[in-house]
Amino acid sequence: MDIFIDPDSTSGLANQIFEEIREGILDGRVGPGERLPSSRELAASLGVSRHTVTTAFQRLSAEGFIEGRRGGGTLVSDLSSLRAPGSPSEPILDRSGRDQGVAPALDLRPGTPDPRLFPTADWKRYARWAVDQHVATYGDPAGVADLRRVLSRWVARSRGVDASFRQLIVTSGAQQAFYLLIRACTEPGDVIAMEDPGYNRFRSMAEATGVEVVPIPVDSEGLVVDAIPPSVKLVHVTPSHQFPTGVTMSMARRLELLSMAHSRGALIVEDDYDSEFRYVDRPLEPLYRLDRSGSVAYVATFSKTLSPALRLGYVVVPLSLHEQVLEVRRQIDWAPSQVDQLTLRGYIADGHLESHLRRTRRVYMGRQHRMAAFLERAAAQGVLRPAASNAGLHISARLSPTLDEADIMTRLADRGVAIEGYAEYSSIRPAVGGLVFGFGLVDSEQLEEALRIVADVIGVDD
């Protein structure tokens, strides 16, 4: 079991160790009878004093989570009698990703951050505070004003997006922002464009609103702007880290896209879903910053930085569209839970998101480097052609033409490794297949095991 502590957190070290182990026991990552590392080992691996670990162990023991054994060793107790009636036996932040069902043993599917890294203790503190505010009205359909102020400062600092909080609307994740924008500026039958391969959930949701979704190819510079039909009303694009290929859109293409949108009166929906995880260079600035004609809506989410379970994101809307978007908002769910919005507000305003990102970036960077080294080796052996990717929670790779994507995925699934392929994200059938290697859900040990199986299945000497 991996334990993560944040030396910058205001929640003491012993408390963090207590919470991490307690969560691990409650969500079944460590089972009854399993042995915990000794206080000496754990103190050494976490870089804290032994006294700190002993304090955490004493509390776990007092609350019945662990028990000492004669002859040494600390074991996890059998909790079946301790669980509160009706308490979930499955973790709420479950590691099966988006889909319901049994989690595969080794999950290389992209898109979900590691629930083991969720800042449970801090989040609980702010959630408790938020509940105490006794909010009892529908509130503002754009979202809690205080949160929007905090978010407008956050997006200015982290991404250089300079926007008044009045332009910002809090949404239930990026997906809802896409929905609001489509409904606000299209009619059924209108043409909208998206990258191919691209974010499949955008396509299925857009089609459900009655618009025609035209797939636009992606090359080494990103979206091929020339291929966008003249009648387009809205373009969905992931310029900073194309999903799923990982390509960064070139400056020439950015300018071309902005000029196309301006001349045709189309809206660009900039999906900046994972720029917070950048491991080498600085990310290119968002399209939003280059836009001089109010053609870009900038969408961000907390699904990667914190958890998709929160369903929280936001959109910076061109002022000309603001009222139309809010009108759709009022027609559907009004606004996300104010308790959750207030929790997020406190968490970011007190600087926790920044320290959480520092901590998680380090963890993901280790996994990203390991994954990249494996893919380079596979490339040197002519088996895969990985995309240059220095960001996010996945790396994509084209398969050599001799390998069949569906066959590889089935063989991996038979050995307990879940992964996604390009076919899932494409409506234009790709000439060669590809795999999307996510590393959000596997800890370093699981990653090693998964890569051993992948190497075996695709024939790579790692």
- 283 in contact with ligand PLP (CB under 6 A): no
To ligand PLP, the closest distance from the beta carbon of 371 in angstroms equals: 17
x-marked contacts with ligand PLP along 377-416 as a string, rule CB under 6 A = ----------------------------------------
Structure-block tokens of residue 119: 């800042």
x-marked contacts with ligand PLP along 106-145 as a string, rule CB under 6 A = -----x----------------------------------
By three-state DSSP, how is residue 435 classified? strand
Of the pair 76, 344, the CB lying nearest ligand PLP is at: 344
Of the pair 65, 298, the CB lying nearest ligand PLP is at: 298
Of the pair 18, 302, the CB lying nearest ligand PLP is at: 302
Q: What is the rounded (10 degree) CA torsion for 295, 297, 298, 302?
A: -170
CA distance linking residue 55 with residue 17, whole number of Å: 9
x-marked contacts with ligand PLP along 166-185 as a string, rule CB under 6 A = -------xxx----------
- The residues in 315-334 that bind ligand PLP, with binding defined as CB under 6 A, are none
- Give the number of other Cβ atoms within 10 Å of residue 269's Cβ: 25
Among the residue ranges 301-309, 314-322, 365-373, 375-383, the one whose residues contact ligand PLP (CB under 6 A): 301-309
> Contact 450/416 with Cβ under 8 angstroms?
no
- 238 in contact with ligand PLP (CB under 6 A): yes
The only residue of 273, 277, 298, 364 in contact with ligand PLP, by rule CB under 6 A: 273
To ligand PLP, the closest distance from the beta carbon of 275 in angstroms equals: 11
Of the pair 173, 318, the CB lying nearest ligand PLP is at: 173
To ligand PLP, the closest distance from the beta carbon of 157 in angstroms equals: 20
To ligand PLP, the closest distance from the beta carbon of 366 in angstroms equals: 22
Residue 227 DSSP one-character state: G
By three-state DSSP, how is residue 403 classified? coil
Of the pair 14, 257, the CB lying nearest ligand PLP is at: 257
CA distance linking residue 309 with residue 94, whole number of Å: 9
Contacts (Cβ under 8 Å, ≥6 apart) of 436: 109, 110, 244, 394, 396, 419, 420, 421, 422, 425
The only residue of 239, 283, 308, 438 in contact with ligand PLP, by rule CB under 6 A: 308
Sign of torsion over alpha carbons 374, 380, 381, 386: positive
# of chain residues touching ligand PLP (CB under 6 A) = 13
- 303 in contact with ligand PLP (CB under 6 A): yes
Is beta strand 232-237 parallel, antiparallel or unpaired with respect to 313-316?
Answer: unpaired
- Give the number of other Cβ atoms within 10 Å of residue 71's Cβ: 5
The only residue of 271, 276, 340, 420 in contact with ligand PLP, by rule CB under 6 A: 271
374: enclosing H helix or E strand: helix 352-380
Of the pair 12, 217, the CB lying nearest ligand PLP is at: 217
The only residue of 57, 65, 243, 439 in contact with ligand PLP, by rule CB under 6 A: 243
- 313 in contact with ligand PLP (CB under 6 A): yes
Of the pair 24, 91, the CB lying nearest ligand PLP is at: 91
Residue 125 DSSP one-character state: H
Q: Which amino acid is at 315?
A: V
- The residues in 174-233 that bind ligand PLP, with binding defined as CB under 6 A, are 174-175, 199
The only residue of 301, 305, 307, 360 in contact with ligand PLP, by rule CB under 6 A: 301
Of the pair 21, 168, the CB lying nearest ligand PLP is at: 168
Is beta strand 232-237 parallel, antiparallel or unpaired with respect to 191-196?
Answer: parallel
Contacts (Cβ under 8 Å, ≥6 apart) of 18: 56, 59, 60
To ligand PLP, the closest distance from the beta carbon of 280 in angstroms equals: 20
To ligand PLP, the closest distance from the beta carbon of 206 in angstroms equals: 13
Burial annotation 168-196 (CB, 10 A radius, 16+ → b, else e): bbbbbbbbbbbbbbbbbbbeeebbbbbbb
CA distance linking residue 254 with residue 163, whole number of Å: 20
Number of alpha carbons in the 13 Å side-chain half-sphere of residue 240: 25
Beta bridge partners of 171: 313
Among the residue ranges 83-91, 130-138, 300-308, 450-458, the one whose residues contact ligand PLP (CB under 6 A): 300-308
Our CA angle for 201, 207, 209, nearest 5°, is 110
Token pair 């074991």: residue: 75
Of the pair 308, 434, the CB lying nearest ligand PLP is at: 308
Contact residues toward ligand PLP (CB under 6 A) are 111, 173-175, 199, 238, 243, 271, 273, 301, 303, 308, 313
